Chain A
Amino acid sequence: MTVDPGRIDALRTRYDGWGLTSRRVEVGSLEDEAEAMFNRGWTDGLPVVAPTEARVASMLDGTTRSPDDVVALMPPALVDCTVEKVAVNAVMAGCRPEYLPVVLAALEAICTDEFNMHGVLATTMGVGPVFVVNGPIAERIGMNAGINVLGHGNRANLTIGRAVQLVVRNVGGGRPGEIDRATHGSPAKLSFCFAEDETTSPWTTLAEDRGFARSTDVVTAFCGEAPRIVVDQRSRTADSLVRSLADGLRSAVSSRVVTGMDAMLVVSPEHMSRFSDAGWDRARFMEELGAHLMVDTDTIVTGAGGIKEGLPEAMAGLTLPKFRPGGLLVVHAGGPAGLFSSIVGGWLNGPMGSEPTSREITP
């Protein structure tokens, strides 16, 4: 193999400076690498892994794409972001090479007019991109869809989300206190990425619901705030639990907001068992949930209940759905025990704000 001219050329290109074009930054022998990277403003507040040539070259083995291939126009600076720059930041985030295709697809999803990463970054509201991974790749690269799914402990979940945010920060220039002036921010701005539990779910997956085949690897980006829990440990029937979840969802973002903002509902396996026991599929669940999410606008117009925030008075006397059609994304994930589900409130939706956006993950 080594005498094959094509192979030799490939090796020469690779080992003669690795074919990487990023500027080299020298860190002195007496300088601590981690401190040097903090000092240059390259981190999200946590230490990062030093992006040496060897590590970046190894990271690039995770994709068939060329290092100089442009992945997206990166906001807010709107600069071309290459596969190489993504790989550099993925090394820093702690990714393994096999995570890189997910990071690339996630970036392609958010850097679209529909998702509007510019607005998601620049808004004073504490939201960030939330990523759900579907398809065989999730298990293959070791993503977590079970215990502590929205928490800590899984390298793939945490570093994929983190890598995306580091790219936005370092390549796009979206640094907190500069273009990003969020009032409170959110843990979602650091990393918010998880896999759906497809194996124990009786329902179609989120990606299937969005038109993809179950065998396709897909990442879905949703603009959301940090998750909060809906506790229901007493409901023994699907009917009781769906009412309870609707009750929790009604206050997503604000109980005064209807149709203008989306939400994601992460249904736990124990909660899911109530619905599967009753023979409810995803469609039946959505139909029942929707019926309990109709809001009497008299209760949320401006001034109602002594609260100025609300719909214009002219909209009194109506019954409106809490969420627009397609505005509630439902995912099955979490540990096998625990009668909780989680709600991730959204942000301004549709062409005025951010549209949930899915992309196929390719090698």
Chain B
Amino acid sequence: MSDTDPSPTTGHHPGAAKPSGAVLLLDPTSEAESTDRALTARKPSLDGLTIGLLDINKPRGDVFLDRLEQQLGHRGATVLRFAKPTFTKPAPADLRHEIATQCDAVIEALAD
């Protein structure tokens, strides 16, 4: 790879080749560290809660969510329905905000 390396052996640039023979590489990653977040405490009961159902817009996701809505209703929860504009993109920030401010919990349906 000498064609991309102007001076692979000379030491005029610091650190590229240490006298010990160790080589310094540049990290190709974003170097971002992910943060661990504790899970939200589990709800003891569904009674009186508002549950958001998020349809990612895949075929038959509505079949699954219709059934969940029915079951949650039987258990005293209020259900709000949401849908992503397309399953191929992350949920828009406005939609996430809407769910976060209106619901106690959310269930997202993946389906096909």
Contact = CB atoms under 8 A, between A and B. Distances in A.
A154 interface: no
Interface of B: 1, 3-8, 12-17, 20-32, 85-86, 88-90
Contact of B5 (A33, A52, A348): A52
Contacts of B3: 96
B25 A123 contact: no
B27 A22 contact: yes
B64 to A, nearest CB: 18
Contacts, number: 129
B80 to A, nearest CB: 24
B19 to A, nearest CB: 10
A24 B29 contact: no
Contacts of B4: 49, 55, 58-59, 91, 95-97
A24 B25 contact: yes
19 contacts: A22-B27, A24-B26, A26-B23, A27-B24, A29-B22, A37-B25, A42-B29, A56-B26, A57-B13, A58-B4, A74-B30, A77-B32, A79-B32, A88-B26, A88-B27, A96-B4, A118-B88, A118-B89, A170-B29
Nearest to A93: B28
Interface in A80-98: 80-81, 84-85, 88-89, 91-92, 94-97
Q: Name the interface size band of chain A.
A: 35 or more
A20 interface: yes
Nearest to B27: A23
B10 to A, nearest CB: 9
Contacts of B28: 22, 42, 51, 85, 88-89, 92, 166, 170-171
A295 to B, nearest CB: 21
The DSSP consensus for interface residues of chain B is: loop
Contacts of A116: 88-89
A75 B17 CA distance: 33
A81 B12 CA distance: 29
Given A54-B16, A74-B30, A173-B30, A27 B25 contact: yes
Chain A CB within 10 Å, residue with most, of B13, B23, B90: B23
A306 interface: no
Nearest to B1: A49
Given A58-B6, A351-B86, A52 B16 contact: yes
Nearest to B31: A23
A28 interface: yes
Contacts of A27: 22-25
